[in-house]
Chain A
Amino acid sequence: MRRLLSSLISPFFLAATMGAAWAASDSLTIYTYDSFTAEWGPGPGVEKAFEAECGCDLKFVSVADGVALLNRVKLEGAGSKADIVLGLDTNLVADAKASGLFVPHGLEQSETPVPGGWRDEMFMPFDYGYFAVIYDTETVKTPPASLADLVSGDSDTKIVIQDPRTSTPGLGLLLWMKSVYGDGAAAAWEKLRPRVLTVTPGWGEAYGLFTSGEAPMVLSYTTSPAYHMIAEGSERYRAAAFSEGHYLQIEVAGLTKKGGTNPLAKAFLEFMSGPGFQDVIPETNWMFPAGKTSKPLPEAFGKLVKPAKTLLFSPEEIASNRKAWVDEWLAAMSR
């Protein structure tokens, strides 16, 4: 019994001592999501460029996605090692502010790098993208030209969407519908329901179903076709341009209380809106850069859908309505 207990407990102590090796003075710790730090993500390029500029050690710590990121920081509270949290989106900003763990960055946002000129005293945008319905040109000959088309279209041409209870794009579509239909959103969802093949927990599952041919349409980003063009040389998958406009997702980074006392953290936020960071964004994060780049966007990005109108709720509107809107969605989709 003693052996069993000690074998259960000893790794905890081992882990505790291992953790002490973390603290260092001329280093910067950034929490982000893991597709950012993946070998094909922007992380490696950004790290190299910033370390060359600051002569310091930049450490990324990654978790699954933006939502997990905020929860992680909230769970860690004041004891968090993060100087910067990079990878929240504007839907999470109100929640992040309410946690009291972030401090104002105090930086001038000289130009307005994101559509609609979104700005905030605590969070700096680093890239953005628009939600879009991606369709398979081999099976969909006339893609929907508007959200209204999508809602009332042939129920045999299915779409896979994500669950707003568990995924960021899922919430994105919910907000998109809400910003176009307002109080009529529930009715619109009911009309769309027969077209929805299934609702997946996250983006990856939905996109996997789409590319495996199970459904001819999927909710994703206007930039998704750029991946297929650049990485696969294929124009098979395209985004449908919707006349009502597209809902915007802005990804932001913020300074934690601990980061507020680390001069490297502020230096990084400034670096973030320059070419050292922004140059790698399009072809690694598959989003639009929210800052200066030293070269024009890749050619494929020029072929993407340019939204007629940008739709976006303020973080406060989302914070105060999200629960009610998700409940409305649940009721409409469960009937």
Chain B
Amino acid sequence: MSTAAGDDRRIVGGIAALGAITLLAGGALAGLFEESGKDIATIAGAFDVYHLRIAIFTLWQALLSTVLSVIPAILVARALSRHPAFPGRRIILRLFAVPLALPALVAALGILALHGRSGLFANLFAAAGLGRWPDIYGLAGILMAHVFFNMPLAIRLTLGSLDTIPGNHRRLAAQLGMNAADRFRLIEWPHIRSALPGIAGLIFMLCATSFTIVLILGGGPRSTTLEVAIYQSLRFDFDPAKAVAFTTSQIVLTVIAVTAFFRLGQPADTGFGPIQSGRVYSRPGHAETVFNGVLIIAALLYVGGPMVAIAAAGFAADLVRLAGDTAVWAATAASLVFGFTAASLSLLVGLSLVATRMTLQQRRRLQQPGALERLVDAGSGFILVIPPVVIGAGWFILLRNTVDVFALAPVMVITVNAAMAMPFVVRVLRPPYDAARIRHDRLCTQLGLKGWNRLRLVDWTVLKRPFATAFAFAMALSLGDLGVIALFGSDAVQTLPYLLFSRLGSYRTADAAGLALLLGLLCMTLMFLADMPKGDR
């Protein structure tokens, strides 16, 4: 086992990271509470029938979205893990990261280009004389968009956990002549199951806090989430008391739901060994190959279809003029700088949390995880349910008398983006990090390798790939973010999504489509770069 001093350092790092996140969230809520006049009665007054109705809808649509994203994702991830040589596999995986960077509106338009009233399917339907294509507006539309965003994410994260299956397990499965069902039950499922609560929790939170999708595809105010109410109370009514009430509900309800996920999926002891994810010890049978191929292609069509529509609209824009537009260059540069900084910060915080969690797990051996371990693992992820608009407004109130809040906007954008990307970083880093720790701890203790040297000489060989992926995820998320800027957006922080919306807000729809294409391409490039480091083959 590693040294006690090293353990303590790791734990302190995790506590610091947790503290920073708590400060970010707690400070914001304190600021709003302050501004609301600290009037508990007014805050309590916001708990009415409307509040109850939207709370129920929020949870219901998030639960359905999670189930519909995660179950297909498990099957597709399994299929991808069984076929490392599937044609175009790497491109498919990169493509699956693009929705992360797409502003919700862009994705909605892409989905509507296929499934909408005047979409491709509606036209084919009409041409075939089948009458009117059913409208997707309502719960169906919301779910379709959430699956578009989250199924690919779930696939990548599940695949990440399948990649940590030790080679000897695979070999054993092959030697024992296990069929697909047995292999799934005995080898793959325990790995998936240990990662599942985290993945499902993450997606649940993303869907629970959905806003633009819910309004645009929800078809009317029947589809209203708590996030809409929070946005309305801060952005439009400026009623901090209400914002505090709605945010509190959002936090409490999501914590309950996500805790339930963790209760359902008890972490399994999956065992570790050399990973060698690229090796195939047994070829899938003919039937399984067909089944897996169909799954992968179906997922690709579902996710790729709207992206093709987005790209097609983008290519129809006057790209030459956009390329010569200094505002576009400035926004691209701003987005890249903010994204890079936020992703670095996010990686630092995420790694601290992951390292602390593993250290605590090793310390307790077989006992139940303690409160700190739970906090650094899933607990930190709850930052996702605190809307960026709340963080922005709360900190604005706290700091307005001491610093120049104009100049603060970039700092706010970076900090909030880093915090919001952190749960993704944790999900990507945790499986390979834990595996590396278990595999290398004894070796490193024997060699006396610690800290930076250990990371550089030993762990880095297996971790550079996940690090690159986590960084790319975090940066892609930041690229597409509009959250904090929505309230305090100013000329100081003209990012790409901001520019996209400002073009859209002044009749320049084609420009907006061109910028969406640019965002997508940037994200593809990021994922391409993240695939550059060679794995541990």
On A, residues with C-beta under 8 Å from B are: 1, 4-5, 7-8, 11-12, 14-16, 18-20, 22, 34-35, 37-41, 60-65, 67-68, 70-72, 74-77, 79, 81, 156, 158, 163, 165-166, 193, 196-205, 207-209, 211-215, 224, 227-228, 231, 286, 329-330, 333-334
Contacts and interface: CB of A to CB of B under 8 A. Distances in A.
B530 interface: no
B215 interface: yes
B512 interface: yes
B125 interface: no
B13 A1 contact: yes
B491 interface: yes
Lowest 3 CB-CB distances: which A-B pairs, in order?
A19-B404, A204-B504, A1-B16
A212 B506 contact: no
B164 interface: no
Given A4-B16, A4-B349, A64-B486, A37 B491 contact: yes
Given A72-B488, A333-B221, 14 more contacts: A1-B13, A16-B403, A39-B327, A60-B491, A65-B505, A75-B396, A76-B405, A79-B400, A197-B117, A200-B215, A205-B105, A209-B216, A213-B118, A214-B117
Contacts of B220: 193, 196, 198-199, 333-334
B411 A12 contact: yes
Interface of B: 12-13, 15-17, 20, 50, 105, 109, 112-113, 116-119, 132, 135, 137, 211-212, 215-222, 228, 231-232, 234-236, 238, 313, 327, 345, 348-349, 352, 393, 396-397, 399-408, 410-411, 414-415, 486-491, 501-502, 504-509, 512
B216 A207 contact: no
A38 B326 CA distance: 12
A202 B486 CA distance: 12
A218 B210 CA distance: 24
B137 A334 contact: no
Given A4-B13, A75-B393, A204-B501, A15 B403 contact: yes
Contact residues of B: prevailing secondary structure: helix
A329 B137 CA distance: 19
B509 A207 contact: yes
A228 B508 CA distance: 10
Contacts of A37: 491
Contacts of B399: 12
A199 B118 contact: no
A324 to B, nearest CB: 13
A208 B512 contact: yes
A76 B118 CA distance: 45
A71 B238 contact: yes
Contacts of A18: 404, 407
B215 A201 contact: yes
Contact of A212 (B109, B236, B401, B407): B109
A166 B231 contact: yes
A162 B522 CA distance: 31
A12 B403 contact: yes
B327 A166 contact: no
Contacts of A4: 13, 16-17, 20, 348-349, 352
Nearest to A61: B490
A228 B509 CA distance: 12
B506 A165 contact: no
Nearest to B9: A1
A68 B137 contact: no
B237 to A, nearest CB: 8
